[in-house]
Structure 1
Amino acid sequence: MHQNRRAWITRSTIAAVGLSLTATTLAVTANQAAASVTLQCASSAPVYRVLSNGNMLRYQHLDPDTGAANWSANPPTIGFAWQPGKPVAAPDGVIFAPWTGGELRRYRWNGAGWDTFPNGTQHEVIDTGGWDRYLTADYRNRITVDTDGFIYTIEPDGALHWRSFDAATHTWTHRVIASGWNQYNLIIAAGRGVLFARNAAGNLYRYRYDAASQRWLTTAQPVGLGWQAFDRILSAGADVLYTIKPDGTMYWWRWDENAQGWTASHGAQIGAGWIDSATTAAPDTCQVNGVVNPVRPTVPAVDNPPVTLQYSTNGDIHYSYVDSESRAVYAEATDVTGSTPIGFAVVPGFTGVIGITGTGDYQDGRIQLAATGTDAEVRTNVQTVSRGPWAGTTTYGGFVPSSASIVHRSDNTIAMFALDAAGDLWARSQAISNASLDAWTRVGPTPLKPGPITVAVTANGIRILGLGQDGTYHAATYTTTLSAWVSLGSTGFDGTISAVVMPDNTLQVFANNGGAIQTQRETTTGFAGTWTSLPGVIATGSPSAIMSPAGTLQVVARADDDYVYYAGQAAPGSAVYTDWREITNYTDQTSTSPVALAVPDENTWVVGYRNDLDTPKLRRYQSPALRTATPFVDVPLTPPSS
């Protein structure tokens, strides 16, 4: 039974509990660092207790902020016959309850009794199927609700799922936010997005997830050992925990975000006799003030962004761009012979976006499309099947001011990268092929200014390149961690750098320096910092380079006369480049920087751009042996209908 604080003579110390605590101070970026946070709690914390006979009692812990063993007398019985369910307390008196048969119920205690719902019962069924797993021993401690009412579950796929239920519209929002969470046998939410997770060894870790930006702000921070001593952990919010041993002894804890450690009174014993069928606490009792969450940045306008071309592993060509009405437009083709016009369509729901689109191909052939919205959230859509319709446009959050890049990695998973307003690099990635992408995780700081980045996959890792605040390009390699950044030398550059992966897994890069297209070859020891100009045009915008099927580097650029020009190596491996030549015979001007793409199964390469009427264009290269006139021929395209 619970006892009043006056009945306690001594408090148990952490040694009596038999735990070892560790605290790790995490490095955080400037825009995430918090000022001194303060704790604010209601006068009491409601704790709901289901006895073995199915009765539910509502207790009040009168000192949730200090952990004093002070309880209200005579807790009332507020429910009966709870044996088939498991209550999980949510804010504002709401209780979610997985129930025998698989349904999820929603109750609400209004202070005087249970709300009555339109069907005349004291609960409403808000989902059906699968929720009874949280009544089993394996999953009983793998469901929790945070201060904002968001539901977190570990599911049979081993991933951590996040759900938001809108009680007004009875609609759900569902995300998979992290993989590999089957390592944890208990999770408990303890604040806005704060999660404590315990593994089988009893190690306790602290996480923080920001639902608005879909970022992990803290991941796997070790905060304790020996937590297998408890069979139940509940929270009043604001990092206040109640832990219960199998013998029914209850302890109080609070993690201090200022000190990055447990408070001096942690591990205080505040009760006994809590041998219950289920125990849960109201997660909105306590809150912390002063925590700084990610801020939505201003997204600058992007005039005439270039198109995106991708050659996928199944041999398809994918063409996408953001049109003048801020819509994402997409087309795909199985060949570029021109025998059948390639038709474009606006992607449903993909509106209000800017900049450059990103595409990535799943192992099963589906395409994921992404673009950043004017609200700094990355929009995305994935095909339901390869070459099939789109599943539905959703938001990936991010709070990033520019475009996200997607790459297909060597293990047949995809990853997405973007810079935030401070220039920090963030990533979302698949843990396994064809799975959902985990939430944004901070990769690390960069010397880059916010803007598009170039991402290239090599055998040595993912190469990240971008323009620095100093007008110099910088590069780093990402494997499981991010390498040191290296300068590519010189200054005065602008726009996006183009990188070609060479046969030895080094890079050849091309960039615009004051209108001059310059190139530099990386060696096995890195970039020497020496750039070579390819004279002959005054370029505007960014160049695009590829390794052609013939084994020569080819680069395209928009000149100051708004025509598209190309130049290439005189022979494979040559340091000599041909003169610049125009690709349309001066019949078609461009409003965007052109983009080149190798099409190896057709032994050719193509150039995509949009003209001054916002019409997509695609030109295919013809080798001298096959051409009848100009080196490039027009590939028929059908623009999207308005």
Structure 2
Amino acid sequence: MELDGRAWRPNPNGLRYRVVAEQGWDHWSGSESRDHITADDQGLIFAVDGDGALTTSLLNRRDDSWPILGDVIDTGWDQYDRIFAGGEGVLYAQRPDSTLLRFQYHHSSQRWLEYAQPAGHGWDYSHLFSIGADLVYGVDEESGDLVRHRWDREIEDWEPGENHRTVVGTGWSGFEHITADGAVCTYDFSDLPRSTVPDSDRSRSLTPTEDADGLMRLYFTESSGRLFEAWQSSPSDPTRFGYTPLGRDARFAAHPSAVQRSNGETSLVAQHRDSSIWGASRVDGDWGDFSPLGGWTPGPAQLVETTDGTVTAFAVTEDGRLLHREQHPAPGAKVRWWPLGGAELTSDLTVVAEGDQIHVVVRDDQGSFHLVTAEDGTAITWTTLPGHGFEGSASLTIDSAGQWRLLARGADDRIHELRESTLSAGWSSVGDQEFVGSPAAIVRAGDRTTLVARGADDYLYVAVQDALDDSRYGEWTQLIDRRTGMVYRTSTDAAVLRNAAGYLLISFLDLADELYVFRSAYPDAIGVASEPVSAADEETDEPLTEFDGGPVELTEVR
């Protein structure tokens, strides 16, 4: 129904209403569920279904279609007796003890902007409703007063007044139902998320994984924005790959993120050029369609899987806050983008799982790193690490004793290391060589860390932790194909993967988007065990810096 002045505007059929859905809404017709459905000033319907899930639906009034219908955005809302909208995406929810909580959900970016903000106790009114702009009305059944409250977003509290309320009418007791037009008053919501132009940094354009057969799979974007999956087609040759484009005609920014899940599926996210995050899964060898996941972040998202099988994405907002979203959630999970906190953060982040915990290292705009440990969707620790002036992303590793170490490029363009075990000693330089990219670090057998970084000459260099003195690293060694002596320039940082057989695989792209893959000449057990090295290699100081590889031979498979 639509108002025309003081009267309902009739439809062409002469009725003052029209049916827009003939079934599926009976759950909310009963008195026990009538207070579990509401609509904001944009026409977005919020409803709590029979399982306690909060859903959204949106009617296209031009053709009475439902582009969004019953989309679950949260769970556990059966704990509330009543919900009502208070503005664009603004929801108030009342608990049985009369506690009121404020929420704000941004539909287009699929973000929770505010979640369960306490809004006071004692809301024992017989009716609660809003006319928008956080103007909340209630009926004091005992006195019959109609009272008004207004939430002040600046101070995150109700406007001052006696009991934070103003009496605006009398004689309102005895009504069975009261409602109001929720779009009468509106806020200036110019601070809501908007799509933006993604960061143009292509230094991190590849993500490697290992499939169930022990073969490498690579996900990367070309300069044109096309997204590809490439898979190793020969176990004995690291430079032979099949490939296929993903996402059809969509165009993506750099750095897709993928995880090979413990159940055999693959989860993938990539940032579209409109700054939204898109996601897809490969199940039983077949890719499903890409679907937009909102986000609208200036940089890409990073995926990680915890031991319970949950896959979580992390990203940073335009105002520098850390977000997370569970991609394959268990019941009760956070199925939209949730704020974890922070301020003035950049999109340079790294995520690593340790059991059911996730460690996130993110750089702020002053070049300092923050280490965030999250569990069950909550940041349980947030530590600002020493030092500032760092550039790019850090690389985080965790050894067999559960001790972390961080590698990053400093203001002097050298690679520096910070260890949990010697945190008070601060950062130490790994050699004197200067670099332009972010380092990639990986723990190999015997807790020996291998570093790969892009030098100022755009060649990759490798350094390996000393086998006898773990406080030292060997010299930086240029990445060379030991068979031919060839070296290749890169336009991206290295993507590294240690496979199940103990080999290190390094991949990168050049300026022409040509793909290169190198595999270590030996499994890393050679660095910690008595495994012999052939006579031809006896003069090599560090066998773990020897690699075979070069340009990849790609064969398209449709």
Same fold (TM over 0.5): yes
Q: Which moved more, 1:472-481 or 1:428-437?
A: 428-437
Partner of 1:470: 366
Residue number in structure 2 paired with 1:240 = 135
Out of 493, 497, 517, the residue aligned to residue 618 of structure 1 is 517
Check if 1:140 corresponds to 2:34.
yes
| 1:567 equivalent among 463, 472, 489 | 463
Q: Which residue of 2 aligns with 1:201?
A: 97
* 1:187-206 deviation per Cα after TM superposition (whole angstroms, max 9, x unaligned): 11121111111223332211
Secondary structure at 2:119 match in 1: strand
Q: Which deviates further from its counterpart, 155-164 or 145-154? A: 155-164
For 1:391, which of 272, 289, 308 is the aligned residue? 289
Q: Displacement, 1:267?
A: 8.5
| Whole-angstrom CA distance in 2 between matches of 1:613 and 1:641 | 21
- Which of 507, 514, 517 pairs up with 2:415? 517
Q: How far does residue 456 in structure 1 lie from its aligned partner after superposition? A: 2.2
Where in structure 2 are the equivalents of 1:473-552 lying within 5 Å? 473-479=369-375, 480-481=378-379, 483-489=381-387, 492-513=389-410, 514-523=412-421, 526=423, 528-535=425-432, 537-549=433-445, 551-552=447-448
The residue number in structure 2 matching 1:265 is: 166
Distance in 1 of aligned mates of 2:332 and 2:469:
39
SS at match of 2:131: strand
Alignment of 1:208-607 (within 5 A): 208-227=104-123, 230=126, 233-243=128-138, 251-257=146-152, 260-261=157-158, 263-265=164-166, 269-275=170-176, 280-289=179-188, 292-294=191-193, 296-311=195-210, 317-331=216-230, 337-338=236-237, 341-348=240-247, 351-360=250-259, 364-375=263-274, 377-383=275-281, 385-398=283-296, 400-429=297-326, 432-433=329-330, 437-446=334-343, 448=345, 450-458=346-354, 461-479=357-375, 480-481=378-379, 483-489=381-387, 492-513=389-410, 514-523=412-421, 526=423, 528-535=425-432, 537-549=433-445, 551-571=447-467, 574-579=470-475, 580-584=477-481, 585-600=485-500, 602-607=501-506
Could you tell me how far apart the structure 1 residues matched to 2:96 and 2:550 are? 62
Q: How much has 1:146 moved relative to structure 2?
A: 0.5
Indicate how the Cα distance of structure 1 residues 612 and 431 shifts in structure 2: closer, same or farther if over 3 A, else same: closer
Normalization by structure 1: what TM-score? Answer: 0.71
Aligned to 1:99: none
Distance 1:340 1:355 in 2: 22
Distance 1:127 1:564 in 2: 63
Question: Size of the alignment, in residue pairs?
Answer: 526
**C-alpha distance in 2 between matches for 1:356 and 1:156:** 40
**1: CA distance, partners of 2:6 / 2:264:** 51
Matched, 1:167 2:61: yes
Aligned match for 1:152, one of 12, 23, 46: 46
Alignment RMSD: 3.9
Shift of 1:344: 2.7
Q: How far has the Cα of 1:360 moved from its partner?
A: 4.0
Aligned counterpart, 1:609: 508
Q: Which has the higher contact order (CA 8 A, sep 6+)?
A: 1
Kept in 2, the 8 Å contact 1:176–1:437? The answer is no
Counterpart Cα distance in 2 of 1:254 and 1:289: 19
Alpha-carbon deviation of 1:236? 2.5
**Aligned-partner residue type, residue 388 of structure 1:** D
How many Å apart are 1:134 and its aligned residue?
1.7
CA contact (8 A) 1:329 1:640 kept: no
Which one is further off, 513-522 or 318-327? 513-522
TM-score (norm 2): 0.80
Query: Matched residues in 1 for 2:277 and 2:176: separation?
Result: 48
| Contact 1:305–1:592, Cα closer than 8 Å, also in 2 | yes
3-state DSSP of counterpart to 2:166: coil
Residue 402 to residue 147, structure 1, CA distance change in 2 (3 Å): same
Shift of 1:324: 0.8
Q: Is the 8 A contact 2:204 2:255 kept in 1?
A: yes
CA distance in structure 2 between the aligned counterparts of 1:461 and 1:149, rounded to whole angstroms: 39
DSSP 3-state at the match of 2:339: strand
Q: Check conservation: 1:162, 1:176, Cα contact below 8 A.
A: yes
Inter-partner Cα distance in structure 2 for 1:116 and 1:572 = 86
Offset, 1:498: 0.9
| SS at 1:368 equivalent | strand
Percent same amino acid among aligned pairs?
A: 23
The reply on whether 1:188 has 2:84 as its aligned counterpart is: yes
Deviation at 1:282, TM superposition (A): 2.2
After TM superposition, the structure 1 = structure 2 runs for residues 99-118 of structure 1, keeping only pairs within 5 Å, are 111-116=7-12
Shift of residue 587, structure 1, vs aligned partner? 4.7
Aligned counterparts of 1:335 and 1:518: Cα–Cα separation in 2: 37
CA displacement 1:255-312 (0-9 Å, x = unmatched) = 2326621653158544244235xx5432212223477434555544224543112457
Residue 626 of structure 1 and its aligned partner are, at CA, apart by 9.0
Query: How many angstroms apart in 1 are the aligned matches of 2:224 and 2:282?
Result: 26
SS of the equivalent of 1:351 reads coil
Cα distance change of structure 1 residues 313 and 349 upon mapping to structure 2, 3 Å threshold: same
Contact 2:449 2:465 in 1 (8 A): yes
C-alpha contact 1:380 1:394 (8 A) present in aligned 2: yes
Gaps of 5+ in 2: 527-531, 538-545
